[in-house]
């Protein structure tokens, strides 16, 4: 694991690893994520919260794969260190089971 990713694990949601698993399960990629995080923080005038920047990049990727999975799903999120949340159709998603429960409730194929 890189130094940047190690910095990301400080003061982030306990769900971060579960969201990463969901991204993988839905066919998303982590390729270039460190470079994207670095590009977003390197010119910050204030000391950036690397964990927030990583979580943001992860949520963008999750949004993309969920939109490809089913673009009728409403995806939203809130990022603030360990108090970060990811929602699909107004249901908080903490892990893969939460996501697929929402999908099943809508009668979508999981």
**110 inside domain:** no
Q: Which residue in 94, 101, 98, 109 sits closest to 16, CA to CA?
A: 94
Count how many domains the chain has.
1
102 pLDDT above the threshold of 60: yes
Does 24 fall in a domain? yes
Of the chain, the end-to-end C-alpha distance in Å amounts to: 31
pTM: 0.87
**pLDDT value of residue 108:** 65
Q: Determine the pLDDT at residue 1.
A: 47
pLDDT tens for residues 52-96? 999 999 999 999 999 998 899 999 999 999 999 999 999 999 999
Domain range enclosing 11: 3-105
The string of pLDDT tens digits covering residues 17-65 is 999 999 999 999 999 999 999 998 998 898 888 889 999 999 999 999 9
On whether residue 35 sits in a domain, the answer given is yes
């Amino acid at each position: 694991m890189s130094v940047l990713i190690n910095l990301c694990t400080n003061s982030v949601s306990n769900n971060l690893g579960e969201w990463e698993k969901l991204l993988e399960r839905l066919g998303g990629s982590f390729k270039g994520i460190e470079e994207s995080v670095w590009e977003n923080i390197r010119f910050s005038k204030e000391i950036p919260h690397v964990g927030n920047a990583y979580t943001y990049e992860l949520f963008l990727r999750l949004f993309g794969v969920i939109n490809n999975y089913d673009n009728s799903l409403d995806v939203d999120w809130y990022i603030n260190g360990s108090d970060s949340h990811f929602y699909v159709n107004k249901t908080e998603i903490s892990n893969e089971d939460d996501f697929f429960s929402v999908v099943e409730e809508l009668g979508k194929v999981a």
